[in-house]
Amino acid sequence: MIRIAIQSKGRLYEESVNLLKNIGIEVDAPKRKLLSRSLTFPIEALYLRDDDIPQVVAGGTATLGIVGQNEVAECGADVSILCPLGFGACRLSLAVPKAECYDGLAWFKGRRIATSYPNILRRFLAEKQIEATVEVITGSVEIAPAVGIADAIFDIVSSGSTLIANGLKEVETVFESEAVLIARKNLNQEEQDLIDELLFRMESETLSRGKKYLLMNLPRASMDEAIRILPAMRSPTVMPLASENWCSLHSVIDAADLWTKVRQLKAIGAEGILVMDVDKIIL
């Protein structure tokens, strides 16, 4: 059996549990207990604050963890990053008061920068040879310039609206992050086998993200044209219909292209187009 550390509440909680559920692993909500054994896979969820997850995995209390890459980079825990998970996207950026004339990184020389991510910031400043003072604050970093604690901030940004609301502007993106699956180093064979199975299932999830399954009736004469419009995984599936001059065509497409493709297919005579969600793609 393996143990996976996930955030007990907060921004990553819901998607972490959903990801497990989508690959056939149901675990109880953290409200009831700190540890929850899945009945459908030899795995146990350990609910923690996100800051603690990298260390708990590095130390061996959990074999796996789901956490923001930003937390892994900040604490420098010795873990393997197995794969990005496609949620929890954000970036760590430097921001300055919006009235400042910002003219490049040299602006930060001799300034005070407030952050909850001192290690990532210090590494960045050292690499760019900028000498600045790092003021460590654990919460509400964005108010630091207004109250005079710092001249600038280094913080998590996703939409940027918090910065704007606090009279700040983002001037440098330092670190791009998303939720990742991490693992302890030096796994035994049983752990490795269970992780391989999880990764295999997760890949089918990742591949199906943003995909739609399309099926339609099409005049036989338009089939070549339709195949050009629909580059399927291998090639579209074409099936005969009772009426000889018609066929049924099935294909998987990117959801982003849906309406463009539908217009093109209608123009060559497609009818009865069905659009369906794709749950898993197993290659």
* Helical residues (DSSP H) of the chain, grouped into ranges: 13-22, 53-58, 69-75, 118-127, 161-165, 189-208, 223-229, 258-267
Residue 115 · residue 151 · CB < 8 Å: no
Among 43-51, 103-111, 146-154, 219-227, which window interacts with ligand ATP (CB under 6 A)? Answer: 43-51
User: With 0-12 CB in 10 A as exposed, 13-18 as middle and 19+ as buried, what is 232?
Assistant: middle
Q: Is there binding between residue 10 and ligand ATP (CB under 6 A)?
A: yes
Binding residue (CB under 6 A) for ligand ATP from 16, 23, 71, 252: 71
Q: Which position's Cβ is nearest ligand ATP? A: 68
135 binds, among ligand ATP, Mg ion, none (CB under 5 to 8 A by kind): none
In the complex, the smallest distance separating the C-beta of residue 51 from Mg ion, rounded to whole angstroms, is 4
Residue 181 · residue 66 · CB < 8 Å: yes
Q: Which residues pair with 153 in a beta bridge?
A: 95, 114
**Distance between CA atoms of residues 17 and 237, nearest Å:** 35
Q: Is there binding between residue 55 and ligand ATP (CB under 6 A)?
A: no
Q: Is there binding between residue 28 and Mg ion (CB under 5 A)?
A: no
Q: Is there binding between residue 52 and Mg ion (CB under 5 A)?
A: no
Residue 176 · residue 182 · CB < 8 Å: no
Pairing assessment for the beta strands 152-157 and 112-115 based on DSSP bridges: parallel
Binding residue (CB under 6 A) for ligand ATP from 12, 114, 150, 194: 12
Vertex 137, ends 132 and 162: CA angle to 5°?
Answer: 95
172 binds, among ligand ATP, Mg ion, none (CB under 5 to 8 A by kind): none
Q: Is there binding between residue 7 and ligand ATP (CB under 6 A)?
A: yes
Q: Which is nearer to ligand ATP, 92 or 218 (CB)?
A: 92
Q: Which is nearer to ligand ATP, 10 or 59 (CB)?
A: 10
Among 42-50, 155-163, 204-212, 215-223, which window interacts with Mg ion (CB under 5 A)? Answer: 42-50
Among 44-52, 105-113, 122-130, 132-140, which window interacts with Mg ion (CB under 5 A)? Answer: 44-52
**Distance between CA atoms of residues 67 and 96, nearest Å:** 28
93 binds, among ligand ATP, Mg ion, none (CB under 5 to 8 A by kind): none
Q: Which is nearer to ligand ATP, 68 or 145 (CB)?
A: 68
Count helices and strands in the chain by DSSP H and E runs: 8, 15
In the complex, the smallest distance separating the C-beta of residue 74 from ligand ATP, rounded to whole angstroms, is 9
